[in-house]
């Protein structure tokens, strides 16, 4: 049982579990949490938008594989249904990097 709870050996979460986690995950830093709530969360915590969900390691793996520069460029310029800058007009490039890191590394 403990091994199951340890993380890596746990079975992959169901779509419902992923959505439930994404709905409550929040950056620890207060300023970042504010930016996240006003912008990224609208899509990245809603499976219906097609955005990779916060904490969905499976969805983020192929995106992270593109490398941090490509990811940052996607955020700044937009990508398909992802609007340029993620609709965060107060975000700096460092904010985008930190928000992407949070969303891709948050754990269930
Ligand atoms: C209006 C909805 C929406 C908002 C708001 C939004 N995103 Fe996205 N995001 C998407 C969608 C949809 C995709 C998937 C795009 C694709 O690959 O087709 C995506 C993909 C991404 C990716 C992966 C890009 C890649 O190259 O694979 C990153 C990184 C990202 N978003 C970061 C952010 C950040 C950071 C914010 C907040 C500042 C944000 N997004 C706000 C919808 C949104």
pLDDT of res. 11 = 80
Ligand 1 center–CA 53 separation, angstroms: 9
User: How confident is the model over 32-87, as pLDDT tens digits?
Assistant: 999 999 999 999 999 999 999 999 999 999 999 999 999 999 999 999 999 999 99
Question: Cα 1 to chain center, whole Å?
Answer: 28
pTM for this one? 0.92
Token reading at 93:
């490039």
CB of 15 sitting under 6 A from ligand 1? no
Mutate to test the pocket of ligand 1, among 44, 78, 92 (most ligand atoms within 8 A of CB): 44
Domain map (residue ranges) of the chain = 29-105
Assign a CATH topology to domain 29-105.
Cytochrome Bc1 Complex; Chain D, domain 2 (1.10.760)
What distances in angstroms separate CA 80 from CA 64, 75, 84, 106, one per listed residue?
Answer: 17, 11, 10, 24
């Amino acid at each position: 049982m403990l091994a199951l709870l340890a993380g890596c050996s746990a079975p992959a979460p169901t779509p419902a579990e992923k959505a439930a986690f994404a709905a409550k995950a929040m950056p620890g830093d207060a300023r970042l949490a504010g930016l996240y709530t006003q912008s990224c969360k609208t899509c990245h915590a809603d499976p219906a938008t097609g955005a990779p969900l916060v904490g969905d390691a499976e969805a983020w793996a192929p995106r992270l594989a593109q490398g941090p520069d490509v990811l940052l460029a996607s955020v700044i310029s937009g990508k398909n249904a992802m609007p340029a800058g993620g609709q965060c007009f107060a975000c700096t490039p460092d904010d985008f990097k930190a928000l992407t890191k949070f969303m891709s590394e948050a754990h269930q």
